[in-house]
Amino acid sequence: MNIVDFIIGALLMNAMPHLIFGLTKTYFLGLFGYRPKGNIV
């Protein structure tokens, strides 16, 4: 395992809560604010 694999895994694990909360329309602070559509982006 090299550093690129670690970075890809960390980014995917960070993206999962944003995607799940965006799809369930839960208000969650993300990069684009509290809107669910912004978390899907």
Residue 10 DSSP label? H
What pLDDT was estimated at residue 6?
A: 93
Amino acid letter, 9: G
| Angle at 32 (CA atoms; ends 13, 17), nearest 5 degrees | 25
pLDDT in tens, 1-41: 799 999 999 999 988 887 887 788 887 776 677 777 776 66
pLDDT of residue 39: 66
Residue 39 exposed, middle or buried by CB count within 10 Å (0-12, 13-18, 19+) = buried
Q: Quick one: pLDDT at residue 19?
A: 82
What was the pLDDT predicted at 35?
73
Residue identified by tokens 């559509």 is 37
Find all residues with CB under 8 Å of 19, minimum gap 6, and list them.
39, 40
What does the pLDDT read at residue 8? 92
